Chain A
Amino acid sequence: MTCKELVELVTDYMEGALDADASARFEEHVTACPECLVHLGQMRLTVRAVGRLRGEDISPDARDHLLASFRNWRREG
Chain B
Amino acid sequence: MSGEAPLPVGLDANEERLVAELRAGSEEAFAALVGRYHASMVRVATAIVGNRAVAEEVAQDAWVGALRGIERFEGRSSLRTWLFRILTNRALSRQERERRSVPFSSLASDELDAEEAALDPERFLPADHARWPNTWAVAPESWAGAGEERALAAESHRVIAEAIDALPAAQRTVITMRDVEGYDAQDVCNALEVSETNQRVLLHRARSKVRRALEDYLQEDDAGDGSPG
- Please list the residues of chain A having a beta carbon within 8 angstroms of any beta carbon in chain B: 2-5, 7-8, 10-12, 15, 17, 35-36, 38-39, 41-43, 45-58, 62-63, 65-67, 69-71, 73-74, 77
Smallest CB separation, A14 vs chain B (Å): 9
Q: Is B49 an interface residue (CB 8 A)?
A: no
Q: Classify the secondary structure of A's interface with B.
A: helix
**CB distance A42 to B38 under 8 Å?**
no
**CB distance A49 to B63 under 8 Å?**
no
Knowing A11-B204, A43-B211, A50-B179 are in contact, say whether A62-B60 is a contact too (CB < 8 A).
yes
Q: Classify the secondary structure of B's interface with A.
A: helix
Q: Which residues of A contact B210 (CB under 8 A)?
A: 46, 49-50
Q: Which of B25, B56, B143, B203 contacts A45 (CB 8 A)?
A: B143
Kindly state the separation between the CA atoms of A42 and B150 in the bound complex, as whole angstroms. Answer: 13
Q: Which residues of A contact B151 (CB under 8 A)?
A: 45-46, 49
Question: For residues 152 through 206 of chain B, which have their beta carbon under 8 Å from a beta carbon of chain A?
Answer: 152, 154, 156-157, 160-161, 164, 175, 179-182, 185, 196, 200, 203-204
Q: Which 7 A-B pairs have the closest CB atoms?
A: A11-B204, A2-B134, A35-B139, A4-B134, A50-B179, A46-B211, A58-B38
